[in-house]
Structure 1
């Protein structure tokens, strides 16, 4: 039985050092195919990154983050990138998710978590999303000055205690993103038990993925794992 949550390192770009894939704790990698994002990569650049990752770790799961565009554009971009999962960040219609799944992709839905939302309506929205997705990913709401269409990757955390309260009602696989770092991941995992965590800016130095920061994150996760086993 796996004691640690799954771990996705997201926002890879050409030139990033992918040697962190030597560590089996990293189960997923992500590429951002949102043109307005500073981490944007084209479908062809994403494909190069995906092939490199798969050479290093054939078992790693690859994820394309998208926001907006028609179902045809999203599907074609995901096909060219050669990813396993498409992560919908733009509130795309249900038929987009269904067509992607019919085409053989797994689909994740990103949902902005706002502790001020009405609980009943928020849970109804989650159940609707979950019915056409393989997992839900919770992220912080974007800042007011965020670029249009850039709904994630801002490095902002949110109220994990509030999420822990709501999680009792979840009947689907769920992930957490937003402001996760080597310094706070143990605190996160003490509060909530997601299927996986999604990290981007928290393991960057100078805007690039940093192997040392990723190692520190994994060490902190493993320390939490030892801590939780000793308390069980």
Structure 2
């Protein structure tokens, strides 16, 4: 299976174009956050979502925590997907599915330990995918993404094995470590921000190197799976 690539912290139509040309499957658009890089205005997010061609997905990263507020944020920005970066009450997740049935819904899980797996049952019935990140939502100033830190990929691998929902992996990814991430975790997709930036700007060379590393690793993993019969017949 081809590993999808989501380039986050897109700040302008120009960066969106760079990411799309490099082969990104999805773009992450960061709205107001308590901390972290890349937030842009809702008006800029709406500008970018309007120009992105199919089949590239646009992810609104929202820090809102109620179904009503998340729904309003979606309607103000018109993404194809909403990425909920806080551990919201699963009852709100259920309500959001009723409010916005045509929007893809991705729940972020901040992996601070094995207890992350305990969150699967509450969210899985109401979402389309999970995204595993390295934030600290209970810190004095909440970290809800964009930390540039990797978390324990052994926990992430166990999470992938424990759910039938697609799982994106985020946190400290770069061309240098993405092969290990894919082999260990086997995620549906990868999400990155700082690993493809230089001085805060999206770096086409770093992004091209990352995409090439993912493509090469996917080919190697597929070949190994075929050889050992993992995906035979």
Q: Pick from 193, 199, 212: which aligns with 1:200?
A: 193
Please report how far the alpha carbon of residue 166 of structure 1 lies from its aligned counterpart in structure 2 after TM superposition: 4.3
Conserved? CA contact 2:136–2:142, under 8 Å: no
Structure 2 equivalent of residue 124 of structure 1: 118
Structure 2 equivalent of residue 212 of structure 1: 205
Please report how far the alpha carbon of residue 183 of structure 1 lies from its aligned counterpart in structure 2 after TM superposition: 0.9
Instruction: Write out aligned runs for 1:88-99 (5 A).
Output: 88-99=84-95
Structure 2 equivalent of residue 73 of structure 1: 69
Please report how far the alpha carbon of residue 147 of structure 1 lies from its aligned counterpart in structure 2 after TM superposition: 6.9
Conserved? CA contact 2:133–2:145, under 8 Å: yes
Conserved? CA contact 2:168–2:187, under 8 Å: yes
CA shift in 2, pair 1:220/1:148, >3 Å: same
Q: For 2:12 and 2:206, how far apart are their aligned partners in 1?
A: 18
Conserved? CA contact 1:87–1:108, under 8 Å: yes
Instruction: Write out aligned runs for 1:135-154 (5 A).
Output: 135-142=129-136, 148-154=141-147
**Aligned Cα root-mean-square deviation (Å):** 2.2
Q: Pick from 88, 98, 107: which aligns with 2:105?
A: 107
How many residues are paired up?
A: 221
Please report how far the alpha carbon of residue 164 of structure 1 lies from its aligned counterpart in structure 2 after TM superposition: 2.0
Which runs of 5 or more residues in structure 1 are unaligned? none
The superposition leaves residues 95-114 of structure 1 with CA deviations (integer Å, 9 ceiling, x where unpaired) of 43334333221111101112
Q: Which moved more, 1:152-161 or 1:71-80?
A: 71-80
Please report how far the alpha carbon of residue 23 of structure 1 lies from its aligned counterpart in structure 2 after TM superposition: 3.7
Q: Which moved more, 1:98-107 or 1:84-93?
A: 98-107
Per the normalisation by structure 2, the TM-score is: 0.85
Conserved? CA contact 1:31–1:63, under 8 Å: yes
2:23 corresponds to 1:44: no
Structure 2 equivalent of residue 82 of structure 1: 78
Please report how far the alpha carbon of residue 15 of structure 1 lies from its aligned counterpart in structure 2 after TM superposition: 6.1
SS of the residue corresponding to residue 58 of structure 2 reads strand
Which has the larger helix fraction? 2
Please report how far the alpha carbon of residue 42 of structure 1 lies from its aligned counterpart in structure 2 after TM superposition: 1.7
Which runs of 5 or more residues in structure 2 are unaligned? 227-233
The superposition leaves residues 118-138 of structure 1 with CA deviations (integer Å, 9 ceiling, x where unpaired) of 4xxx43321211121111111
Per the normalisation by structure 1, the TM-score is: 0.85
Instruction: Write out aligned runs for 1:170-185 (5 A).
Output: 170-185=163-178
SS of the residue corresponding to residue 162 of structure 2 reads coil
CA shift in 2, pair 1:7/1:80, >3 Å: same
Structure 2 equivalent of residue 63 of structure 1: 59
The superposition leaves residues 165-222 of structure 1 with CA deviations (integer Å, 9 ceiling, x where unpaired) of 4433222221111001111101111111111111111111111211111111001011
Conserved? CA contact 1:12–1:30, under 8 Å: yes
Please report how far the alpha carbon of residue 73 of structure 1 lies from its aligned counterpart in structure 2 after TM superposition: 2.8
